[in-house]
Amino acid sequence: MRQQQFEALHGAEWEEMEALLDAAPRGSGRRTANAPDPMRLPRLYRLVCGHYAAVRSRHYSPALAARLRALVLRGHRRLYRRSDPWLWRIIGFFVEVFPATLRRYQRYFWLSLLLFVGPGLFMGFGAYFNPDLIYSVLPAENVAQMEAMYDPASRQVGRTEARAAETDFQMFGFYIKNNIGIGFRTFAGGMLAGLGTLFFLVFNGLVLGGVAGHLTRLGYTETFWPFVSGHGAFELTAIVICGAAGLVLAHAIVNPGQATRPEALKRAARPALVLAMGAAGMLLVAAFVEAFWSPAPLPPTVKFAVAGALWALVAAYLTWMGRGRFEAG
Amino acid sequence: MQRQAGALAAQGMTPLDTLLEHETPEGILLELRLAGPVVRACAWAIDAVIRGVLYIGLGILLSYLGQMGTAVMLILFFVIEWFYPVFFEVRSGMTPGKQVMGVWVIHDNGTPVSLPSSLVRNLLRTADFFPLFYGAGLLTMLMNRQFKRLGDLAAGTLVVYRDPHGQRRAMPEAQPEPPPQGLSYAGQEALLDFAERDAQLSAERKAELATLLHPVTGCGGAAAVAKLHGYANWLARGR
């Protein structure tokens, strides 16, 4: 069959498909009354795929091939796109997917915990018994800043002098930008064969442990521990989870197993993303608690009681939430 | 399933090209033209300017709202820093910078980029940026055949040129004339392509190209152009 006959025979179908693709997709609220019937698209798509294959094998003109290829590409994009109600996906994510994924990858969580808490304890006890050790991980002016922040005489515990006048809302914004950023970087560090993740976990462990040990040695226990214990439940756990997410990526890069390295990485990226986004959600909660609850001038017993409840809540959420059909299969 | 210009490779030719083919479930080869580091860097620079303007604009606007404004500003800065590309990629597959450069993000099977993939490729941007100014990303792009940076590798995404689905180019009318015997398919396609690109070429360039086929047509200049159009019409329509 000559090209011209072919075009005369099928031109109407191509035009119909073009009209269908030009019409706004379903649910966008922009469809008009006389829009073409979208249910015809799958049939037309398969038809045009056949035409395109014919055009290629019969060596019709490149311009015709280009036109049909564009149609096939657009049809492919339209048909194979996925759209879900996003609100339900977010709820389902935190109720089920995130905790279940974390449990499935708990090996990485425990390793990440070790990499964070190990240096933390080491530096914590070190700084508690040796007054100079803190200066090996933090410059002197930062140490002085920390001391001022948790000095019982400070008018606003937990904030630097420069931020003392800021409102809880401002601190909320600051904590979001700062802490979730750290979490994401810890996750992304996994792409450097895990070295980035390793660095962030160990470094943050050393600094946080060092500060805690140093301030305890100075006797600022009445200000420091009540302030940090509440949001720490979410914040520290989330940083460890971000580390676990980075380690999942790193494992795929360092030891891809039976798959090729890109394929192993692609498979690891899904659960790693789930962990990182779940941790981001937890850091959001942590920022909220840190900004609005932690600075509240309440007796330490109340603070500790609430903190205990929050730690138990996080542990229970990660241990028990989302069991059932997700893990049964 | 994916081949680098598989059809040509099957004929024993290895083209030096940025064409990637993906076979759909319908058995159709989708041809995807990959975007290289320079185009993507330009797109990134355009986005960086847009982001900068956003930061400054928001900063000025929200400074009038006092302390609550600072809080909102910090949160918005965070959102723009991490999710600006995600927002645009999930909506239309391209950030404004990519739109200007005529490229977009797709999965490596040709489907539109989804939210999880877009999140992965943009959260891992930090790793690509390491140690500074996209050093790791550029190195990775140059080390694989699909110009994927680290984030693309993990997300399974590609940055490719968009196909301009514009108007079809018409072939100039000419008296159909049978082309010489034994013309290869590639040769036939070249003739058809030449005729269909008629409007894009200057008369001098057309004559120059057509004269190259002097051994086939036996003439040169405008006469050769007309002759080649004749062949093309014969191929497309018959006598």
Rounded mean pLDDT of A53-72?
Answer: 86
Of A52-56, A163-167, A221-225, A278-282, the poorest mean pLDDT is in A163-167
Report pLDDT for A84. Answer: 63
How many percent of chain B have pLDDT more than 70?
90
Pair (B122, B231) in one structural domain? no
For tokens 């006959």, the residue is: A5
Pair (B192, B204) in one structural domain? yes
Pair (B118, B196) in one structural domain? no
Contact B120 A52 (CB under 8 A): no
Rounded mean pLDDT of B128-149?
Answer: 88
Q: Highest mean pLDDT range out of B54-58, B72-76, B109-113?
A: B54-58
Report pLDDT for B23. Answer: 82
Contact B110 A249 (CB under 8 A): no
Pair (B62, B142) in one structural domain? yes
Rounded mean pLDDT of A31-53?
Answer: 81
* Distance in angstroms (rounded) separating the CA atoms of residues A38 and A32: 12
Q: In whole numbers, what is the pLDDT of chain B averaged over residues?
A: 84
Assess contact for B186 and B192: CB atoms under 8 A.
Answer: no
Q: Per the structure block, which two tokens stand in for A279?
A: 């941790």
* Distance in angstroms (rounded) separating the CA atoms of residues B31 and B21: 5
Rounded mean pLDDT of B165-177?
Answer: 72
Pair (B52, B146) in one structural domain? yes
Pair (B87, B120) in one structural domain? yes
Contact B116 A273 (CB under 8 A): yes
Residue B170 inside a domain? The answer is no
Residue B179 inside a domain? The answer is no
Range of the domain at B89: 37-161
Q: Per the structure block, which two tokens stand in for A208?
A: 């946080």
- Chain A residues close to B74, C-beta within 8 Å: 170, 173-174, 176-177
Q: Is the pLDDT of residue B8 over 60?
A: no
Instruction: Write the CA distances from A296 to A139, A169, A292, A302, B213, integer angstroms.
Output: 29, 14, 7, 11, 87
Pair (B150, B52) in one structural domain? yes
Confidence label for A172 from pLDDT (cuts 50, 70 and 90): confident
Residue B180 inside a domain? The answer is no
Residue B119 inside a domain? The answer is yes
Size of interface A-B (CB pairs under 8 A): 160
Pair (B61, B154) in one structural domain? yes
- Chain A residues close to B228, C-beta within 8 Å: none
Q: What does the angle CA A283 – CA A286 – CA A288 come to, to the nearest 5 degrees?
A: 115
Pair (B41, B91) in one structural domain? yes
What ipTM goes with this model?
A: 0.76
Confidence label for B5 from pLDDT (cuts 50, 70 and 90): very low
Interface-testing mutation among A5, A170, A263, with chain B (most B C-beta atoms within 10 A): A170
Q: Nearest residue of B to residue A163 by CA position?
A: B67
Rounded mean pLDDT of B61-81?
Answer: 87
Contact B74 A176 (CB under 8 A): yes
Instruction: Considering only the beta carbons, identify the residue of B24, B111, B168 that sits closest to A67.
Output: B168
Pair (B43, B144) in one structural domain? yes
Instruction: Considering only the beta carbons, identify the residue of A86, A167, A191 that sits closest to B154.
Output: A191
Contact B235 A69 (CB under 8 A): no
Report pLDDT for B87. Answer: 93
Of A4-13, A113-122, B158-167, B177-186, the poorest mean pLDDT is in B158-167
Pair (B207, B147) in one structural domain? no
Residues with Cβ within 8 Å of residue A90, at least 6 apart in sequence: none
- Chain B residues close to A82, C-beta within 8 Å: 114
Rounded mean pLDDT of A76-91?
Answer: 76
Of A157-161, A238-242, B27-31, B61-65, the poorest mean pLDDT is in A157-161
Element (H, E) at B20: strand B19-23
* Distance in angstroms (rounded) separating the CA atoms of residues B124 and A214: 35
For residue A48, which of A6, A90, A87, A89 has the smallest C-alpha distance? A6
> Is residue B38 packed enough to be buried (19+ CB in 10 Å), middle (13-18) or exposed (0-12)?
exposed
For the CA atoms of A154, A158, A162, A167, what is the dihedral angle to 10 degrees? -110
pTM attached to this predicted model: 0.77
Rounded mean pLDDT of A153-157?
Answer: 68
For tokens 């949160």, the residue is: B75
Measured in angstroms, the CA of A128 and the nearest CA of chain B are apart by 35
Report pLDDT for B183. Answer: 81
Report pLDDT for B28. Answer: 79
Q: Is the pLDDT of residue B121 over 80?
A: yes
For residue A215, which of A150, A261, A152 has the smallest C-alpha distance? A150
Rounded mean pLDDT of A84-89?
Answer: 72
Contact B123 A172 (CB under 8 A): no
Rounded mean pLDDT of B208-233?
Answer: 85
SS3 B29: strand
The full DSSP string for A280-312 is HHHHHHHHHHHHHTTT----HHHHHHHHHHHHH
- Chain B residues close to A45, C-beta within 8 Å: 26
- Chain B residues close to A188, C-beta within 8 Å: 123-127
SS3 B1: coil
Assess contact for B154 and A253: CB atoms under 8 A.
Answer: no
* Distance in angstroms (rounded) separating the CA atoms of residues B193 and B236: 11
Orientation of helix A62-79 relative to helix A41-57, angle to 10°: 150
Which amino acid appears at position A118 of this protein?
G
SS3 A247: helix
Report pLDDT for A329. Answer: 41
Report pLDDT for B193. Answer: 84
Report pLDDT for B51. Answer: 95
Contact B189 A59 (CB under 8 A): yes
Measured in angstroms, the CA of A70 and the nearest CA of chain B are apart by 6
SS3 B177: coil
Pair (B98, B206) in one structural domain? no
Residue B207 exposure: Cα atoms within 13 Å on the Cβ side: 7
Confidence label for A265 from pLDDT (cuts 50, 70 and 90): very high
SS3 B218: coil
Report pLDDT for B231. Answer: 87
Confidence label for A1 from pLDDT (cuts 50, 70 and 90): confident
Domain total for chain B? 3
